[in-house]
Structures are given as C-alpha cells and as structure tokens.
Amino acid sequence: MIFLKSCHIIYEQNNTLWDKVKVAYEIKNSKGGIKMEEEKKLFPVYRFTVSYEENGEQKVEDFCETLCPHEMSDDECREKIALIMEMFEEEYPEALDHISQIEFKEVAKTTWRLGYYSHETFLKFKDKKEAFANFREFVKSEVKRCHDTGIDTSCLQGADEEARWQKCRCKSCREDGRTVINH
C-alpha cells in the first residue's frame, strides 16, 4: 500500500464534485510511501486548505485539521476529501465557482493534537492516571517550547492548568480509539 504525503487538487469548473476535481499525489518515495515513527509514537496531522477568489481578492481557508491514527492511504485520502468538500459546499456555496486550489496534506507529526480546549491522541493507556502522566510530560515540553520561543502559553488553552483536566469518556472517542483530555 502506498501512503500519501499530500493531495493537491486543482478545482475545475464542471458540473459535479468529482468532475471538478483533478487529484495529483506527492509521494515521498516509491518503496511504500511514508512510514510511521513507531518508536516515538507520532501521529500525522492533516490539514485541508481551500484557495478561492472573493471580490477580486485571493483568500485561503484552513477548513479542517485532523489527527489520524496512521498515514492515510490514497483511498482514505479521497474519502476524506469527498467528505470535507461536501461540508465546504454547504458552508461556502458562494465560493464554489471561484475555487482555484484545494490542498489536503500532512502538516505535522505529534503525540497530542490541540483541539478546542482539549488535546487528543491515539496513544493507548491502561488508565486515566497513565494518560494524565503522559499528557503532563507533553504539556511540560510545550510550556518549555513556548518559553524558549517567546510564545504566550495562552495558546495551550488551559492545558497547563492540571486542575482543569477531564478525560472524555464519550462513545465517539472510545469507538475511534482516541484519548481526549478536555481542559
């Protein structure tokens, strides 16, 4: 199976969604694509970006960012693009005729990804205590990175305040195999 580094899509003005899309793949190598760094337990983060013109001005929307438990295959990439395009068509119908490029690409590898006042991972833990210990180490490294680079820690959205942490136990997180800590 070949895995994708990114999907670059040139939007064309035709009738249906898939008639409009021409997909080109950027493959890292010909020996099976990108390999996960198993020893570090890093997971890929993909970002979906749409470029379009509005009132004569070029705009770029980072429409969606998603953490994945593994590198996406070409079929998974196409399925994800189709789902996100349906959402984009609903949310930005006026922009459809003015789209110049759609990009779905891997933008990072991480153990925990920031969500809206939460972090998520696909790491497996035996219990809440182990999950919190792992998250604590991640947060320490992020706080240090913020201090070293002069970034305000407010970008962590409260992750640096352990008293705020709550492990999500919802059905969706359990079924997806995600550990989510709200903060």
Give the model's confidence band at 103: pLDDT under 50 very low, under 70 low, under 90 confident, else very high: confident
**Rounded mean pLDDT, 106-125:** 88
Which carries the bigger pLDDT value, residue 162 or residue 88? 162
Which of 110, 138, 165 is a domain's end point?
A: 110
Note whether 160 and 143 are within 8 A (CB).
yes
Q: Is residue 59 part of a domain?
A: yes
Give the model's confidence band at 164: pLDDT under 50 very low, under 70 low, under 90 confident, else very high: very high
Tens-digit pLDDT profile for residues 26-69: 333 333 433 333 345 788 888 888 888 888 899 887 766 677 88
133 and 86 belong to one structural domain: no
10 and 87 belong to one structural domain: yes
Which of 67, 91, 110 is a domain's end point?
A: 110
Q: Is residue 1 part of a domain?
A: no
Dihedrals phi, psi of 91, to nearest 5 degrees: -85, -30
**Rounded mean pLDDT, 122-127:** 91
pTM beyond 0.85, yes or no: no
Calculate the alpha carbon distances from 65 to 33, 45, 87, 128, 130 in Å.
21, 7, 13, 26, 27
Which of 50, 77, 110 is a domain's end point?
A: 110
76 and 124 belong to one structural domain: no
User: How far apart, in whole angstroms, are the C-alpha atoms of residue 182 and residue 1?
Assistant: 35
Of 7-16, 68-77, 115-124, 159-168, which one has max mean pLDDT? 159-168
Which carries the bigger pLDDT value, residue 162 or residue 27? 162
- Give the structural domain span for 68: 6-110
118 and 102 belong to one structural domain: no
**Predicted local confidence at residue 89, as pLDDT:** 84
105 and 153 belong to one structural domain: no
Q: How many domains does the chain have?
A: 2
**Predicted local confidence at residue 64, as pLDDT:** 64
